[in-house]
Amino acid sequence: MTLNERQQQNEALRSEFLRRSGVDVSKCYQCGKCSAGCPVGDHMDIPTNKIMRLVQMGLIDEAMQSSAIWLCASCVTCTTRCPKGVDVAHVMETLRQMAKDHNCVAEKNIDKFHTVWMNILHKMGRMYEPGLIVGRNMVTGNIFQDTSFGVPYLAHRKLKLMPYKSNNIDEIKRMIEKAEAMDREEGGAR
Amino acid sequence: MDYAYFPGCSLESTGIEFHMSAKAVTKALGINLIEIPDWNCCGASSAHTRGHWISLALPARNMAIAEAAKLDVAIPCAACYARSKQVEVEVSQSAETRAKIEEIIGRPYKGESKARNLTDILYRDLGVDKIAAKVVRPLDGLNVLTYYGCLMTRPPELACDDVEDPVSLDEIMKALGANVLQWGFKTECCGGSLTACRPKVGLDMTQKILDAAIKAGADCIVTACPMCHSNLDMRQAQLAKHDHNYHMPVFFITEMIGLALGMKQKDLGVDRHFIATEEVMCKLEEYEQEQIQKMMNEGGEA
Amino acid sequence: MERVGVFICHCGSNIGAVVDCARVAESVKDYPGVAFSTDYKYMCSEPGQEMIQNAIREHNLNRVVVASCSPRMHEKTFRACVAKAGLNEYMFEMANIREHCSWVHAGRNEEATEKAIDLVKMAISKVCNNEVLMKGHAPVTKRALVVGGGIAGIQCALDIANNGYQVDILERTPSIGGKMSQIDKTFPTIDCSACILTPKMVEASSHPNIKLITFAELEKVDGYVGNFEVTIRSKARSVDMSKCTGCGTCMTKCPGKADDEFNMNLRKRTAIYTPFPQAIPNKPVIDRESCLKFKSRKEGKDVCGVCAKLCPAGAIDYEQQDELFTERYGAIVMATGYEQFDHSIYGEYGYGKYPDVISGLHFERLVNASGPTQGHIVRPSDHKEPKTVVMVKCVGSRDPEHGKSYCSRTCCMYTAKQATMIRDHCPDTKVYVFYMDVRTPGKLYDEFYNRTREEYGVEYIRGRVSKIYQDGETLRVKGEDTLLGRQIEIDADMVILANAMIPNPDSERMAQIVGIGYDKDGWFTESHPKLGPVETHTAGVFLAGACQGPKDIPDSVAQAGAAAVKVCALLSKDQLETEPTVSKVDNKLCSGCGLCVPVCPYKAISLETIQERVAGKTIERQVANINGSLCQGCGACTVTCRSGAANLKHFTNAQILAEVDALCQTIL
Amino acid sequence: MSDNSVKTANDVAENFEPKILVFACNWCTYAGADLAGTSRLQYPPNVRILRVPCSCRVNPQFVIRAFQRGIDGVLVAGCHPGDCHYTTGNYYTRRRFLLINRMMEYMGIDPKRFHTRWISGAEGPKFQQVVTEMIEEVRAIGPNRKLRDDMKVTVNTDDIVASVEADTKVVADNV
């Protein structure tokens, strides 16, 4: 397929990306400093600078389907050192949010981890580690991952066994729902 | 010195040592921490992957409660700090954002109550001289590496220290008498939540940091982030399964201050680490003995 | 009776694509004073100019308005054009409908056309109030001043001197030579920098037409083209130049020590010193900051004095003071050069704290046979030969976020040169170069770069370096090979950064003293980026070398020659035409209050006594008098004048108010 | 006043496009505006530039006259302090127009209609930004009717000129 056809296909995604991220990717001149300093760089299927290039060329679908955007640890080193002032980390973040909305998440387990986390927040307002570990393992299918830490955690008196239940859980729930509704409404635009 | 106190979820569980030591040390140093009643999770590394407003709203509620009490918020956890700082900055810069946030959380928040990193409070508000003055058991002879991770220094507009070469932990450790070594990993990422959901990737990142720490000849690492702490401390056992045997104790800055102020390990939570801290304790004691011996010898000669 | 001709230029499609030029011409056809109006494709072209001249004759025009580009571009062209047809050149006005209209309102054709009509009407109303003006004449001081004694300044002075004119070189440091004297070899020929520079320095110092004023600074510039009055501060050298023989004995026992700037602080020098052995003049100065005697004097003591005891000529003079003196010059050439960008702003490269992370200029001193290591390439930290060297380009350049937005032009070549020199000196040393682009537009430059890779085996890696940190004895360099899409880590013994070029830190102050423009980065602004590269907007002030923007040696030398030609053309005239657009005072209205006198920055106004006959009696009174050759036409006096007696020719109150009214008529 | 005329006035306000006069010094701001042109930096076509040798050539009288004749906004722009081609011209400008600002307020002219700004020859983007912001600001406050309307009813032009001259004297005394 020719480039212009591919770009044509991506037209809607491109404008959605622009609206949601507010980042001017045309500034990027492909120096590679983002990839060079990325702590997850050697695990990414597509290096950060090439993600930027895909976005710059308007090939949002490819960028969105990469596993790289999920491996990004949000450490913001790329943005901090970018000589052109491009918020690279925010580009990655926007792509993650878009991948979720467009149902093309490459790293299902990472996504599920965040889902479990948010579900616990919904219910309790605070984190509850045993719930997180068990919940994550249930959805990812790695039933025994990190369970070996359960006992030592307890031995080191590090896990609270009973979850905290807020007195104002209704307030927190309302707040979360409202915020999520707003995010849906605006498509996460910044 | 009064501050509202936001411990965050980790400090109730995997980072409970930070909680214990922070409370003990601040009390001894005359800093009054008032825990925010019924605080909620800041959203940590998950909320911001879901949406902008949810990532701002969660910390905003805690900040609003503190603002009602006219207090700045002391936050030990680097991640909670970064999330809370983000909403403070965005709300104080844009009336539009403020209106939306207030609508979502149903409370007023003008961004007047500031998110403050606890380490920064100790370093800047209190000052290392005041800490040094209270030291009864100097950490002389201890070779430490300071590790800041991502969230104390990045992004630069939220940072509470220099973005590439932060110094607050270094200066506090020096005030405690420790020998602070230099390395290139002060602000490298430990892997964050990746160790939990993509263990291979996350462990690889943790491993690089531990390798560098061994190479630098450190006795221990000092940090101010519960996520970094649990990755570096707890994951050493997992790395051992892949034939990478480390024994690198990892301390919270407040634990170190507590030890230098003569507090008991148990009261600071030092006994709860995965990697035993005995060697560090022994080294401190040995050094102490040596110094006493030296003094006695010198006295004899004179 | 005004008969104005109006000519609207399309400038091809530059104006014509946005502004409806025919409609503009049509709409002012009946505007008061207009006798003829038309539009044409290219007004500045030969046929366009002929069209104007023919119209002047055919329609008996006595005033002309051209609506086209900026007057800064073509006012001169059209003034000459109307003069050829017999009009006074000041009976002409321009309306700027390109830079101020079509180019900034693309796609808003209707509004842009309306705006163009307004601008043309303003110009017509002004030109109707124009008066015939005649240029004046002023004598020329046949001597030039070159500010800065680097290669550009030296070359420029030599070229002026060889044309038979007197020229002074003003140099801030104790010796001429500039940055080129610090450089070891020059690209692309790898000939020794000193070998080609020092003969020029000697030639300049011995030339009968050249006077060197070293260790001195520009203090003040008064006057105007042809007659600048320059105040110079000669700094206290503490050495009597007339007595000193340059034997150097004084320096042998000096106990005061300071960082040796010439050697990029890689070693120490004495407090009494010449910056380098081939310095010209080869007579030392005392650096009072590090001299034990001067330091002790601050504490009320008076010690040392070793140099004075040693000097066989009795030339040491501790009591010397800075001296101010004034000289007259017909022209000034600015050749103040560049400085190296300070890489210590980059935390990711260690904030300048790692001793083995050095800049390009550091390397030049390291590899120089008369440098601190006698030309051995060794690490500053332990003086061991590096086995792996990493070079990083664009440090401070092309980095709008943390450094400078521009490309420094020279770094690609100097990095290639330094890489080959490392391979020459230490054949076993590996050299890696991190680059974003390789920019080598110059004669034999790209060939040189390709030899660097192919014959010298230097490895080029495309990507910016993200971090450098000390890892035990070596430096760990973290970069990316963007062509492979892979992270690269290299353990290097030494890292050489290709630091950007920045203007002399004093450049903005200098520009303000001389009265020339500078850009956002502090580089001096030329009068036209293409057609006036060595001129400035201030008549009589020219630019040579890197003070105008990053430049290598060949370009600096070429520009110096170009500036010299401009200076000689100016000095060859016995008299200069002066602009008639100066202030005048209407004696009838002047009350002699004298308020305008202190306002004038050129001291062009004085009070004089005139005699008048009032009611049959002769009375004497004071009025302001403006010296037309001193006045530069700013108009400050006109606004200060209470009685409206002072007016600025060509920008009179009547002219400006006519423009204001013309614009506002379209509102009412 | 009939309903009809009110309606017309509102219509005008709705589609109101202000006209702004810019006095630009030849050496800096005029060059900056040229640079905006050569860089193709787009801005609304509501400004008209009048070239003067130096911002200090701008007699406050010119500004008042423009307002009197119905201009909606005036910008006086020159070199940055310290960068004046004539060394000190813009210092006079600065002091003069500090006083004029106060007089404008006294006369009932919204101070947002009049600005003094420093824009160098290298600041094309700044020129674009300054004029764009000013146009928006003046658009928001609507057409200038103050002096025109007042003039028709009560004020004699000569009075205004006299007051301007009086002011010029105040200025003169202060520079």
Q: What is the pLDDT of residues D99-117, one digit of tens each?
A: 888 888 888 888 899 999 9
Among the partner residues A40, A42, A183, nearest to B51 by beta-carbon distance: A183
Residues lower than pLDDT 50 in chain B: 302
Helix, strand, or coil here: C647? strand
Q: Which CATH number fits domain C339-502: 3.50.50.60, 3.40.50.1240, 1.10.10.10, 3.20.20.220?
A: 3.50.50.60
**Is some CB atom of chain B closer than 8 A to the CB atom of A126?**
yes
Give, in degrees to the nearest 5, the angle at Cα B10 between B8 and B16.
105
> What is the average per-residue pLDDT within A60-66?
96
Touch test B–A: 3 Cβ pairs or more under 8 Å: yes
- Both tokens of C539, joined, read 């008549």
CATH numeric code, C143-235+322-337+504-571 = 3.50.50.60
- B170 vs chain C: nearest CA distance in angstroms? 16
Query: Is C469 within 8 Å of B184 when comparing Cβ atoms?
Result: yes
Residue C650 parent element (H or E): none
Lookup: tokens for C261: 């700037």
- Point out the residues of chain C with pLDDT beneath 70: 666-668
**Which ipTM score applies to this complex?**
0.78
Nearest partner of D86 among C512, C638, C71, C641, judged by Cα: C512
The highest-level CATH class for domain B135-292 is alpha beta
Q: Say what the pLDDT of residue D3 is.
A: 39
Distance from CA of A142 to the nearest CA of B (A): 10
Which of C639, C640, C655, C657 is most worth mutating to test chain D (most D CB atoms within 10 A of its CB)?
A: C639
Q: What is the pLDDT of residue D155?
A: 42
Looking at chain A from residue 23 to 52, which residues have their Cβ under 8 Å from any Cβ of chain B? 39-40, 42-43
Nearest CA distance, C394 vs chain A (angstrom)? 10
Task: Provide the chain D residues 41-60 that lie in CB contact (below 8 A) with chain C.
Answer: 41-45, 48-54, 56-60
For chain C, give every domain's residue range.
4-135, 143-235+322-337+504-571, 249-310, 339-502, 583-648
Facing C464 at nearest CB: one of A32, A77, A85? A32
CB pairs under 8 A between A and C: 72
Helix (H, G, I), strand (E, B) or coil at C538: coil
Q: Are B184 and C470 within 8 A, CB to CB? A: yes
Topology annotation, domain D17-174? Rossmann fold (3.40.50)
Residues on chain A touching C467 (C-beta within 8 angstroms): 36-37
Question: Which chain B residues touch C351 with a CB distance below 8 Å?
Answer: 164-165
CA distance A165 to chain B (A): 9
Tell me whether residues A113 and B193 touch, CB distance under 8 A: yes
Nearest CA in chain C to A49: C482
Q: What type of residue is A9?
A: Q
Interface contact C666-D19, CB threshold 8 A: yes
A151 touches chain B (CB under 8 A): no
Rounded percentage of chain C residues whose pLDDT exceeds 70: 100
**H helices of chain A, where?**
3-9, 11-21, 33-37, 48-56, 60-64, 68-71, 77-81, 88-101, 108-124, 129-140, 150-155, 169-186
For residue C632, the distance in angstroms to the closest alpha carbon of chain D comes to 8
Q: With an 8 Å Cβ cutoff, is C464 touching chain A? A: yes
DSSP assignment of D63-128, as one string?
HHHHHHTT-SEEEEEEPPTT--TTSSHHHHHHHHHHHHHHHHHHHT--GGGEEEEE--TT-HHHHH
CA distance, residue C464 to nearest chain B CA (Å): 17
Q: Is the dihedral of CA C529, C530, C532, C533 positive or negative?
A: positive
pLDDT at position D166 is 57
Fold for the domain defined by C583-648: Alpha-Beta Plaits (3.30.70)
Cis peptide, bond prior to residue C188, ω within 30 of zero: yes
Cα separation, B232 vs C550, in Å, equals 48
When scoring C469, C477, C489, C490 by the number of chain B Cβ atoms within 10 A, the one with the most, hence best to mutate, is: C469
Chain C CB within 8 Å of residue B181 CB = no
Give residue D96's pLDDT. 87
Residue D60 to residue D165: CA distance in whole angstroms: 9
The domain limits of chain D are: 17-174
Pairing of strands C166-170, C143-147: parallel
CA angle C421/C427/C432 to nearest 5° reads 65
For CATH 3.40.50.11810, list the domain ranges present in chain B: 135-292
pLDDT value, residue D163: 55
Q: Which part of chain B has CATH 1.20.1050.140?
A: 2-117
Model pLDDT, residue D158: 55
Cβ distance B197 to A157 less than 8 Å, yes or no, reads no
In angstroms, what separates the C-alpha of C437 from chain A's closest C-alpha? 9
Report how far residue C542's alpha carbon sits from residue C189's, in angstroms, rounded to the nearest whole number.
30
Q: Do chains A and D touch (3 or more CB pairs under 8 A)?
A: no
pLDDT at D13: 57
Of A137 and C412, the structure prediction assigns the larger pLDDT to: C412
Q: Which residues contact C297 (CB under 8 A, 6 or more apart)?
A: none
**Topology of domain C4-135, CATH:** Rossmann fold (3.40.50)
DSSP chain B: -EEEE---GGGGTTTHHHHHHHHHHHHHTT-EEEEPTT-----HHHHHHH-HHHHHHHHHHHHHHHHHTT--EEE-SHHHHHHHHHHHHHHHH-HHHHHHHHHHHTS---S-SPEEEHHHIIIIIIIHHHHHHH-SS--TT-EEEEE-TTTTT-STTT-SS-SSS--HHHHHHHHTT-EE---S-TT----TTHHHHSHHHHHHHHHHHHHHHHHTT-SEEEES-HHHHHHHHHHHHHHHHTT------EEEHHHHHHHHTT--HHHHTGGG-SS--HHHHHHHHHHHHHHHHHHHHHHHH-
Decide which of B281 and A93 is more confident. A93
Name every chain C residue with its beta carbon within 8 A of the beta carbon of A84.
400-401
Buried b (16+ CB within 10 A) or exposed e, B141-161: bbbbbbbbbbbbbbbeebbbb
Give C499 to chain A, closest Cα distance, Å.
Answer: 15
Q: How far apart are CA C650 and CA B145, in angstroms?
A: 73
B183 touching C, CB under 8 A? Answer: yes
Report the relative pairing of strands C617-626 and C605-614 from DSSP bridges: antiparallel
Could B184 and C467 be called an inter-chain contact, meaning their C-beta atoms sit closer than 8 Å?
yes
Residue with the two structure tokens 């299902």 = A108
pLDDT at B55: 92
pLDDT category at A129 given cuts 50, 70, 90 is confident
Residue C469 forms contact with B (CB below 8 Å): yes
Domain boundaries, chain A: 3-101, 108-186
Q: Do C122 and D48 touch (CB under 8 A)?
A: yes
Provide the CATH number for the domain formed by B2-117 in this structure. Answer: 1.20.1050.140
Residues paired with B242 in a beta bridge = none
Enumerate residues 6+ apart whose C-beta is below 8 A from C433. C390, C391, C392, C393, C415, C416, C419, C458, C459, C460, C461
Judge whether C143-235+322-337+504-571 and C583-648 match in fold.
Answer: no
